């Protein structure tokens, strides 16, 4: 009987009293898996190398994983991030050490796309304004004609990025009979055509859309991509929705455009600085609906992320490649292939 495959959960998955922070993350499949042991780490941020010396895998919530988190004994094979962001992980250090970094696009795809639809419906239906009016009773009802909503049929939804979430947004919005356009320099043209999405230039998304939704990653190329010049191309009746990453949008320029009503409004789940300063002027604007980088947080999102991470670590235990790996070059190395081979010999049934 060979030693079990050992999985660590970062310490931030557990509260001080030992109960799970996110009970929707179902650990039963890990508990039931043959020849697997798992344990929570002490909550140290960043994760420290000595904590991991007896583990083959790490499921990582929000704690940082740096070059100093990697134990020189080379036992750790995979870090499975709970979510798709990995700015908390030193990817290069992982690659150098032959550690695969897995993420969970399957867990977030639907929940984030639903968040974007939520913003589209709330903004177009003037939901927040009408909620406030109703609370003012007769005085509010008297003013309801001043807040006409916007019908969606024939209106244009434009996405910057048509990847995991952008494509799901287009799938979900189909029954609303909108025109669909997207800009993505790396787009899969067949996927776009299949979804009825016209691929256009970046400026055209700003010019034509009634709703511009940001669905690209934050990279050197996309930082500040939504700037004053591009906001100026938008129709005064159009809305900007950002559920991707705050710094893709120049927040000062956006605040100005919203303040001067040069665009109709915005739905923002992400901000340049999170949490924002309490006196950030954008928080004073009533043509914006905010989410605290958590609009997609649902029971199903957390269950989905957890299930995807458990699948990734059990894949490695059985000598299979995990489905979504950020540093795919690791998978090509002889060391990694040998390692998988060894796991297969030990654990594959
Ligand atoms: N708000 C949240 O809680 C939350 C949760 C998950 C993901 N996100 C964010 O949502 C965004 C989209 O995630 P995803 O899973 O769809 O990622 P993805 O990698 O599957 O898709 C991103 C798409 O953007 C495209 N792209 C890259 N550079 C571009 C550019 N310069 N212009 C236009 N398109 C460009 C890529 O080609 C790709 O098709 C990311 O920023 C991610 O961090 C937010």
Compute, in angstroms, the gap from residue 161 CA to the centroid of ligand 1.
6
> To the nearest whole number, what is the mean pLDDT of the chain?
97
Compute, in angstroms, the gap from residue 137 CA to the centroid of ligand 1.
42
> Dihedral sign, CA of 48, 49, 51, 55?
positive
Which is the closest atom of ligand 1 to the Cα of 221? 31
| Average pLDDT, integer, range 251-262 | 98
Compute, in angstroms, the gap from residue 85 CA to the centroid of ligand 1.
10
pLDDT, tens digit (0-9, with 9 covering 90-100), for 274-293: 999 999 999 999 999 999 99
Residues with C-beta less than 6 Å from any ligand 1 atom: 84-85, 105, 108, 112, 160-166, 183-186, 215-218, 221-222, 243-245, 269-270, 293, 296
Supply the residues annotated as catalytic: 245, 274, 293
Say if residue 46 is preceded by a cis peptide, omega within 30 of 0.
yes
What is the pLDDT, as a whole number, of residue 2? 75
Name which residue sits closest to atom 38 of ligand 1, judged by CA.
163
> Dihedral sign, CA of 22, 314, 166, 114?
negative
> Dihedral sign, CA of 136, 141, 145, 147?
positive
Nearest CA among 296, 295, 292, 336 for reference residue 316: 336
Is a pLDDT exceeding 90 seen at residue 348? no
Compute, in angstroms, the gap from residue 247 CA to the centroid of ligand 1.
13
pLDDT, tens digit (0-9, with 9 covering 90-100), for 156-207: 999 999 999 999 999 999 999 999 999 999 999 999 999 999 999 999 999 9
Contacts of 344 (CB under 8 A, 6+ apart): 318, 319
Which is the closest atom of ligand 1 to the Cα of 222? 31
What is the pLDDT, as a whole number, of residue 87? 84
Percent of the chain clearing pLDDT 70 (strictly above): 99
Is a pLDDT exceeding 70 seen at residue 1? no
Bridge partners of 239, per DSSP, are 211, 265
- Name the one residue in this structure whose structure tokens are 């134990």: 71
Please state the separation of Cα 186 from the chain's center in Å: 19
> Dihedral sign, CA of 94, 332, 326, 32?
negative
pLDDT, tens digit (0-9, with 9 covering 90-100), for 43-97: 999 999 999 999 999 999 999 999 999 999 999 999 999 999 898 999 999 999 9
**Helix and strand counts by DSSP (H, E) for the chain:** 12, 12
Separation of alpha carbons 29 and 311, rounded Å: 9
From the CA atom positions of the chain, what is the Rg in Å?
Answer: 23
Bridge partners of 160, per DSSP, are 183, 214
The pLDDT confidence band at residue 119, using thresholds 50, 70 and 90, is very high
């Amino acid at each position: 009987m060979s030693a079990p495959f050992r999985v660590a959960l970062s310490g931030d998955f557990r509260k001080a009293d030992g109960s799970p922070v996110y009970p929707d993350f179902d650990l039963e499949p890990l508990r039931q898996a043959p020849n697997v042991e798992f344990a929570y780490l002490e909550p140290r941020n960043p994760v420290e190398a000595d904590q991991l010396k007896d583990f083959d895998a790490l499921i990582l919530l929000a704690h940082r994983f740096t070059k100093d988190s990697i134990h020189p004994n080379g036992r750790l094979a995979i870090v499975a991030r709970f979510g798709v962001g990995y700015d908390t992980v030193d990817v290069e250090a992982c690659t150098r050490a032959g550690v695969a970094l897995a993420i969970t696009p399957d867990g977030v795809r639907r929940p984030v796309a639903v968040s974007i639809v939520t913003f589209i419906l709330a903004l177009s239906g003037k939901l927040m304004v009408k909620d406030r009016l109703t609370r003012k009773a007769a005085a509010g009802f008297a003013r309801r004609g001043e807040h006409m909503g916007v019908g969606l049929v024939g209106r244009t939804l434009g996405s910057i990025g048509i990847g995991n979430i952008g494509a799901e947004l287009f799938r979900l919005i189909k029954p609303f009979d909108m025109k669909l356009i997207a800009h993505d320099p790396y787009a899969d043209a067949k996927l776009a055509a299949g979804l009825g999405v016209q691929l256009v230039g970046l400026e055209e998304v700003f010019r034509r859309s009634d709703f511009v939704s940001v669905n690209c990653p934050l990279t050197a190329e996309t930082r500040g991509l939504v700037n004053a010049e591009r906001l100026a191309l938008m129709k005064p009746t159009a809305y900007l929705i950002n559920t991707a990453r705050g710094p893709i949008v120049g927040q000062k320029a956006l605040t100005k455009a919203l303040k001067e009503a040069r665009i109709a409004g915005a739905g923002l789940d992400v901000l340049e600085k999170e949490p924002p300063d309490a006196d950030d002027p954008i928080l004073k604007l009533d043509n914006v609906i905010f989410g605290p980088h958590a609009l997609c947080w649902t029971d199903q999102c957390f269950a989905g992320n957890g299930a995807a991470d458990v699948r990734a670590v059990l894949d490695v235990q059985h000598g299979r490649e995990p489905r979504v790996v950020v540093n795919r070059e690791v998978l090509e190395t002889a060391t990694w292939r040998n390692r998988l081979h060894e796991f297969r010999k030990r654990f594959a049934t």
